[in-house]
Amino acid sequence: MLAMNTPRWAPSVTVAAIVQEVPHVAHQPRRYLLVEEHTPEGLKLNNPAGHLEPGEGPQQGVMREALEETACVFTPSFLLGVYLSRFQRPTHGEDVTYMRFAYLGTAGAPDPTRALDDGIVRTLWLTLDEVRAASLAGRLRSPLVLRCLEDAEAGRRYALDAVTADGSLQAPDIKR
């Protein structure tokens, strides 16, 4: 039980789009859509991902984030999983727990008239082995980048309706 003056722990909720490219040639490894982005730790690789915004459910959020970061329309097919991870940046006094809703789906062709989100340098397609090598080199934004791809490769899938966003999310704010 929390004491009355103890702040309630609240994870930062994020969403991630996991897009697998279907190989055109038999026995060719599958590739995954990633973004390269500027972070306080330097240039890092990430799944198209970002924070859930007020008033949206996870599926809406992942579609918005994928479009903003890749200029591609993302269509979720499955919930890949819900992940928790902790990120500490001692130099800035940060200690954040993230709750990530990862969705597996498809992406359309990039819209050439659409600019990528601030901080996103480019999109790229990498094999699982290339992402593993990037992980060993310290190039991933989070350990969840690789974990989500490994779960997708292993066939992990849950129905989209495993996560329900109640209509009250879109209700106007109540003044207290």
What are phi and psi for residue 6, nearest 5 degrees?
Answer: -85, 125
Can you give the pLDDT at residue 135? Answer: 97
Which H helix or E strand runs over 78? strand 74-89
**The pTM is what?**
0.90
Q: What domains lie within the chain, and their CATH numbers?
A: 12-22+29-161 (3.90.79.10)
Low-confidence ranges of the chain (pLDDT < 50): none
Which H helix or E strand runs over 102? strand 94-107
* 3-state secondary structure (DSSP) of residue 27: coil
